[in-house]
Structure 1
Amino acid sequence: MTEYGYVLACADHGPKALVEQARMAEDAGFTALWISDRFHPWTDAQGHSPFVWSVIGALSQVTSLPVQTAVTCPTVRVHPVVAAHAAATAAVQLEGRFRFGVGSGEALNEHVTGERWPPAAVRLEMLEEAVEVMRRLHTGERVTHYGRHYTVENARLYDLPEEPVPIDVSGFGPAAIELAARIGDGFVCVGPRGDAVRRFHHAGGGRQGAQAPTFTGLKAAYDTSRDEAVRTVHRRWPHLFLPGELGQVLPTPAHVEQAAGLVTEERVARSPIPCGPDPEAHVAALRGGAEAGFDRVFTSQLGSDVRGFFDFYRTEVLPRLA
């Protein structure tokens, strides 16, 4: 049976607000949490981007829900040794309720150290090596590694969870999905991508040779007015409607805003994102993720009324999905 979770959007909320949303999500009946890992927001209108690992530490003290990053890029801004250290500590704090979602990243967050932003094929190669390094570190062994992209010397993690941290790999295009099917403990995607789930399973369905769990994220914009919800999405999240690989290669929020200037309110209104107070629209979106074959479907509130969103989902949406 599909589970339904909530997305803690670090681009749109500060650290204290995210912790409070985690409490509200559990009270509303959501059964899991996603949290984004960013250095920049998508646009200045969003206006936030707290350090995800500090927030996860706080989450471990206020919620009993499982937490998954969606997703961390452990290849450029953060060395895989540091990423492995952070993930292990998070798993200890959450007492095994942590899954480490990883992906090949976006220039918007990763180029800030001045390193060259590689093409997609190289980023996937880097990700595969990074996952190998992190898994070795999560065994507790002392690791020395001289690879094509990373050097590790005499590194050992001392605080580890009882079980190795599951590393779930995100994928959107064919090459990334097939990499996830080869090296992932689970598969992370965005949208009701039944084609992606089928490709993942066809390519092996996870590194253990069995069908690993699959996760996807959707968007929603609750408001008492549909028109106001559409306006909020257009003002704060216009990048969702950019085509192709723009989201992976644009380097700053200003560049994203320039490209998103081509997105109209009419385009937002025509999108499958449920906007406004119609519970059936929100239910249909979540069911679409389940029918696509995902084991957990996460949604996030793009509208401005966060408390109203949780009340609405607790009383009108999640009971219809039970």
Structure 2
Amino acid sequence: MTTRFGYTLMTEQSGPKDLVRHAVAAERARFDFEVASDHYFPWLAAQGHAPYAWSVLGAVAQATERVDLMTYVTCPTIRYHPAVVAQKAATLALLSDDRFTLGLGAGENLNEHVVGQGWPSVDARQDMLVEAIEIIRALHTGDLVTWEGDYFRVDSARIWDLPETPVGIGVAVGGEKAVQRFAPLSDHLVATEPSADLVSAWNGTDGAPTIGSGPARAVGQIPICWDPDRDAAVARAHEQFRWFAGGWSVNADLPTTAGFAGATQFVRPEDVADNIPCGPDLDAIVEAVKPFWEAGFTDVALVQVGDSSLDAFLAEAAEPLLEKLRAASS
């Protein structure tokens, strides 16, 4: 399967109008797909943004024509009820002419704590996600649904506007236990680490999604910080993306930007540069992305760090970088 390369609409670092403008430019630069983060808070105050991802995606669906779209990822359990997620996913699929995939995950405290419902244990969060997927699948049949589980109730709900092709669902997982649990419920794997074991476990899991949406895909994501000046790139990556060094076991539980600032206060610029390719060297970026397609990932979304750099990246670097990525991965 040919590797596809995507662009990340990072809602934590850009305002809503800029995100739509960048989406159009990314399509023009020939990215294959675009993913959008779904945050209520940025990771760090220096990023400075957190518009509502679903409004942005609705505008992007109208402003673009070709690129596939995806949430990367939405938590359908605390901030949103899964019945509402089912409705807005169906609507976005219609607005985009079936270009939309619903990416789901168990969420982060940073975004979910705002509704005052607490932050459950990881096991409870995964139990909630299972119920949420079951509810979304049921509602996407178009049937009238009344449903009761341990965490959610649905009372006589029906989605009135549905696409002819059911919305594909990808789920973010980070280990074998999660793979065994979610692969039978989902169409696609979502992960941020280039793990061949994760991909092979997902593809080898018994059971199949209740609703198919074509071949299963493995969708990864990697931050990069292109800039003509490497020192500027390293400084920007450290200022805005050092939270990335914590790993998801930490990132899922911290509740505020101040918490992330405190947790990463001793992360040095050189530490960030060791994990994120920084500067003008496109070949270095290709080498950083390479482990994903070697691990069997079919799709890789790039995160260009820093709103101030995005216009230049999309105008100057994106097309030659994509040429190099496609040549190297073919």
Would the TM-score normalized by the shorter structure come out above 0.5?
Answer: yes
Matches within 5 A, 1:55-134: 55-64=56-65, 65-134=67-136
CA contact (8 A) 1:36 1:52 kept: yes
Q: Name the counterpart of 1:305.
A: 309
Q: Tell whether 2:249 aligns with 1:245.
A: yes
What is the CA deviation profile of residues 220-254 of structure 1, one whole-angstrom value per residue up to 9, with x for unaligned ones?
10111111111101101111001461101111111
- Choose from 286, 290, 312 the match for 1:287: 290
- Give 1:174's aligned residue: 176
The aligned length equals 321
Does the aligned pair in 2 maintain the 1:102–1:167 contact within 8 Å? yes
Q: Using the TM superposition, give the Cα deviation of residue 41 of structure 1 relative to its aligned residue in structure 2, in angstroms.
A: 0.8
The range that moved more, 239-248 or 136-145, is: 239-248
Percent identical pairs in the alignment equals 40
Contact 1:204 1:211 in 2 (8 A): no
Distance 1:318 1:243, change over 3 A: closer
Q: Distance in 2 between matches of 1:44 and 1:169?
A: 28
Q: By how many angstroms is 1:270 displaced?
A: 1.7
The one-letter code sitting in structure 2 at the alignment partner of 1:16 is: K
Give 1:47's aligned amino acid: G
Verify the 8 A CA contact 2:30 2:319 in the aligned structure 1. Answer: no
CA distance in 1, matches of 2:62, 2:248: 39
The range that moved more, 280-289 or 25-34, is 280-289
| Aligned counterpart, 1:32 | 33
Task: Work out the CA distance in 1 between the residues paired with 2:318 and 2:189.
Answer: 27
CA contact (8 A) 1:238 1:260 kept: yes
Contact 1:180 1:206 in 2 (8 A): no
Match of 2:157 among 145, 155, 158: 155
Distance in 2 (alpha carbons) for counterparts of 1:3 and 1:34: 12
Structure 2 vs 1, CA of residues 318 and 124 (structure 1 numbering), >3 Å: closer, same or farther? same
TM-score, with structure 2 as normaliser: 0.93
Shift of residue 263, structure 1, vs aligned partner: 1.0
Q: State the distance in 1 between where 2:139 and 2:120 align.
A: 25
> Quick one: which of 179, 194, 197 aligns to 2:196?
194
SS in structure 1 opposite 2:63?
coil
Q: Are the equivalent residues in 2 in contact too, given 1:180–1:186 (CA < 8 A)?
A: no
8 Å CA contact 1:206–1:212 kept in 2: the answer is no
Name which of structure 1's ranges 211-220 and 153-162 shifts more when overlaid on structure 2.
211-220
Q: Partners in 2 of 1:302 and 1:137 — Cα distance?
A: 37
Indicate if the aligned counterparts of 1:41 and 1:253 stay in contact, CA closer than 8 A.
yes
Question: Quick one: distance in 2 between partners of 1:170 and 1:179?
Answer: 12
Q: TM-score, normalised by structure 1?
A: 0.95
Taking a change above 3 Å as real, the CA distance of residues 28 and 106 of structure 1, as seen in their structure-2 partners, is same
**Alpha carbons 2:25, 2:314 under 8 Å: kept:** yes
Unaligned 5+ runs, structure 2: none
Structure 1 unaligned segments of length 5 or more: list them.
none
Structure 1 counterpart of 2:146: 144
Q: Distance in 2 between matches of 1:283 and 1:320?
A: 7
Conserved 8 A contact 2:71-2:104: yes
Once the 2 structures are TM-superposed, how far is the Cα of residue 321 of structure 1 from its aligned partner? Answer: 2.8
| Separation in 2, partners of 1:98, 1:207 | 17
Question: 2: distance between equivalents of 1:26 and 1:244?
Answer: 30
Q: Write the letter of the residue equivalent to 2:294.
A: E
Please give the per-residue CA displacement for 1:276-320, whole angstroms capped at 9, x wherever unaligned. 000101122233221111111110110431122123434421112
Q: Could you tell me whether the CA contact under 8 Å between 2:8 and 2:34 is conserved in 1? A: yes
Q: 1:19 matched to which residue of 2?
A: 20
